[in-house]
Amino acid sequence: MSYDLGKITETLIQGKVDRLTELTQEAIDSNAEPAKILNEGLLPGMDNVGEKWKNGEMFMPEVLRCAKAMSKSMDILRPRLTEGELGSAGTLVIGTVAGDLHDIGKDLVGMMFEGAGYKVINIGIDQPNENFVNAAIEHKPDVLGMSALLTTTMPRMGEVVNSLKEAGIRDQITVMVGGAPVTEEYAQEIGADLYGANASTAVDVTREYFAKAKN
Binding site for another protein (CB under 8 A): 56, 59-61, 101, 103-105, 108, 126, 151-153, 155, 180-181, 198-200
Nearest-angstrom CA–CA distance, 118 and 138: 17
Query: Which residues fall within 8 angstroms of residue 50, CB to CB, at 6 or more apart?
Result: 115
Residue 135 interaction partner, one of ligand B12, another protein, none, beta carbon < 5-8 Å per kind: none
- Contact call for residue 146 and ligand B12 (CB under 6 A): yes
Residue 106 interaction partner, one of ligand B12, another protein, none, beta carbon < 5-8 Å per kind: ligand B12
Nearest-angstrom CA–CA distance, 8 and 41: 5
Please list every residue from 195 through 214 that binds ligand B12, using CB under 6 A: 196, 198-199, 202
Q: Using CB under 6 A as the criterion, what x/- string covers residues 153-182 for binding ligand B12?
A: -----------------------xxxxxx-
For every residue of 17-67, DSSP letters joined together read HHHHHHHHHHHHHTT--HHHIIIIIIHHHHHHHHHHHHTTSS-HHHHHHHH
Nearest-angstrom CA–CA distance, 213 and 157: 23
Among 38, 69, 86, 149, the residue binding ligand B12 under the rule CB under 6 A is: 149
Residue 56 interaction partner, one of another protein, ligand B12, none, beta carbon < 5-8 Å per kind: another protein
Among 102, 136, 157, 193, the residue binding ligand B12 under the rule CB under 6 A is: 102
Nearest-angstrom CA–CA distance, 198 and 108: 9
Number of other CB atoms surrounding residue 34 within 10 Å: 19
Nearest-angstrom CA–CA distance, 131 and 139: 12
Residue 60 interaction partner, one of ligand B12, another protein, none, beta carbon < 5-8 Å per kind: another protein
List contacts with ligand B12 (CB under 6 A). 94, 99-106, 108-109, 145-147, 149-152, 176-181, 196, 198-199, 202
